[in-house]
């Protein structure tokens, strides 16, 4: 499945996938990915020293 999704952090569009999040250890990150024809995907996570690359599934509507 090719294509990009819009990336929103705390309700504000910050870019398109692939996207590198800028955050400090201890920060809580609230993301929503949006793409036409697909269900929105929301995630919230706390940044730790072990936080690495995240990949999200986008499901067709």
Tens of pLDDT, residues 11-22: 999 999 999 999
- Quote the CA–CA distance of 37 and 48 in Å, as a whole number: 33
Q: Which parts of the chain register pLDDT below 50?
A: none
pLDDT at 28: 97
| DSSP output for 1-61 | -----EEEETTEEEEESS-PPP--TT-EEEEEEE-TTB--EEEEEE--TT---------B-
pLDDT at 1: 60
pLDDT at 32: 98
Full-model pTM: 0.89
């Amino acid at each position: 499945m090719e294509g990009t999704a819009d990336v929103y952090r705390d309700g504000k569009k910050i870019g398109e996938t692939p996207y590198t999040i800028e955050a400090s250890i201890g920060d809580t990150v609230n993301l929503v990915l949006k793409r036409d024809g697909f269900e929105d995907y929301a995630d919230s996570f706390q940044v730790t020293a072990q936080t690495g690359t995240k990949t999200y599934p986008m499901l067709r509507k």
